[in-house]
């Protein structure tokens, strides 16, 4: 694809998302519906104006990781932990219900092979955490108790989903289920979620120290974005969704976990100013 | 930085729509559409119906 073609595609995507988002908001429908509609209209379903190329997919992926970073940044880790039990129950139902439903529909209704049906059920366990977060933000409910519960459940749900798919993948190889491989992924993901905030906190200290001596402006946004992308890579490396890397980095820099940084100013100011110690 | 994030996040949601091909993968498109679009309306309905009954303490 020509670079100029990419630019015009992004222009069309941004403008159409904005226009349809505004129309949706005018009709008292969440603006994200308008943005989804923009994609359906521009895509192969209707106009075939824009192909979902790898470059656009990549850009979309980076943006959703940064969105999850922002959500993590505004998440109160203590409240998230308080809803732990409820979130776990919601997550377990959130995994079991679509898995059983997907399997039953595939196996009994469409008479697909057993293993294929299991995979169909497994893939349905994934959450649309980005969309959920966006709706709650649009409704200004992202700080509410139930939103924290949904968020916690979505994170747990994604972890369980990854482990389930790893389990099914081993099963599909025909060599039996490798409990060692499955439990290895489980341990890696849990360790990542536990240790990532601490590692990010350490790195944030280093970043702040270097910011004091840096001669070039913009050190903090550069390093924070690098940190987020690094954690996304790390999450993928341990077998977790990349989104969780962005979320973990956000939690690490959030108010409760890293209270030296002032959140109210962070909300209202651009990052370079906001992340300075007050 | 936040404005930049908010400026470009619609690309992700447009991308979800772009990935749907309602002409070919009808079943897959229906599953994605239902599992993606339905919760939006459910959450909106939930808050319009039960918002007053929820705990209003939003800051712990």
3-state DSSP assignment of residue A70? helix
Tokens of A243: 């989104």
Among A residues 9-48, those touching chain B with beta carbons less than 8 Å apart: 10, 13-14, 16-18, 21, 29-30, 32-33, 35-46
A136 touches chain B (CB under 8 A): yes
Contact flag A51-B18 (C-beta cutoff 8 Å): yes
Crossing angle, helix B2-19 and helix A129-138, to 10 degrees? 130
Distances (CA, A) of A170 to A129, A178, A235: 26, 6, 20
**What pLDDT digit, counting tens, does each position of B2-56 carry?**
677 777 778 888 888 887 777 766 777 777 667 777 777 888 888 888 877 765 5
Tokens of A148: 């924290």
Higher-confidence residue of A123 and B55: namely: A123
ipTM of the assembly?
0.72
CB half-sphere exposure, A80, CA atoms < 13 A: 21
Rounded CA separation A121/A127 (Å): 13
* Percentage with pLDDT > 90 across chain A: 8
**Closest among A243, A40, A17, A229 to B7, alpha carbons compared:** A17
B1 touches chain A (CB under 8 A): yes
The alpha carbon of A111 is separated from its chain's Cα centroid by a whole number of angstroms, namely: 33
Tokens of B27: 């079943």
């Amino acid at each position: 694809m020509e670079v100029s073609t990419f630019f015009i595609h992004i222009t069309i995507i941004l403008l159409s998302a904005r226009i349809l988002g505004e129309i949706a908001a005018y009709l008292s429908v969440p603006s994200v519906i308008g943005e989804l509609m923009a994609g359906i209209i521009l895509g192969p379903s209707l106009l075939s104006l824009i192909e979902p190329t790898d470059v656009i997919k990549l850009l979309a992926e980076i943006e959703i990781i940064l969105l999850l970073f922002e959500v993590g940044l505004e998440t109160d880790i203590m409240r998230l932990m308080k809803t732990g039990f409820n979130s776990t129950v919601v997550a377990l139902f959130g995994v079991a219900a679509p898995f059983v439903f997907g399997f039953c529909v595939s196996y009994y209704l469409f008479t697909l092979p057993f293993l294929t049906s299991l995979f169909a059920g497994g893939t349905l366990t994934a959450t649309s955490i980005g969309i959920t977060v966006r709706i709650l933000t649009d409704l200004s409910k992202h700080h509410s108790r139930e939103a924290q519960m949904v968020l916690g459940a979505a994170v747990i749900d994604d972890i369980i989903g990854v482990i389930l798919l790893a389990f099914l993948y081993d099963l599909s190889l025909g060599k039996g289920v490798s409990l060692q491989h499955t439990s290895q992924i489980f341990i890696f993901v849990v360790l990542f979620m536990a240790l990532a905030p601490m590692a990010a906190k350490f790195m944030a200290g280093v970043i702040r120290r270097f910011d004091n001596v840096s001669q070039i402006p913009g050190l903090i946004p550069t390093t924070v974005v690098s940190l987020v992308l690094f954690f996304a890579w790390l999450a993928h490396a341990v077998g977790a969704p990349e989104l969780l890397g962005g979320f973990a980095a956000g939690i690490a820099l959030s108010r409760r976990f890293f209270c030296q940084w002032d959140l109210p100013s962070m909300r209202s100011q651009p990052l370079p100013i906001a992340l300075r110690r007050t | 930085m936040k404005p930049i994030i908010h400026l470009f996040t619609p690309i992700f949601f447009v991308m979800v729509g772009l990935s749907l091909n309602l002409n070919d993968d009808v079943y897959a498109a229906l599953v994605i559409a239902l599992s993606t679009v339905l919760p939006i309306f459910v959450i909106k309905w939930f808050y319009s119906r039960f918002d007053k009954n929820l705990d209003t303490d939003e800051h712990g």
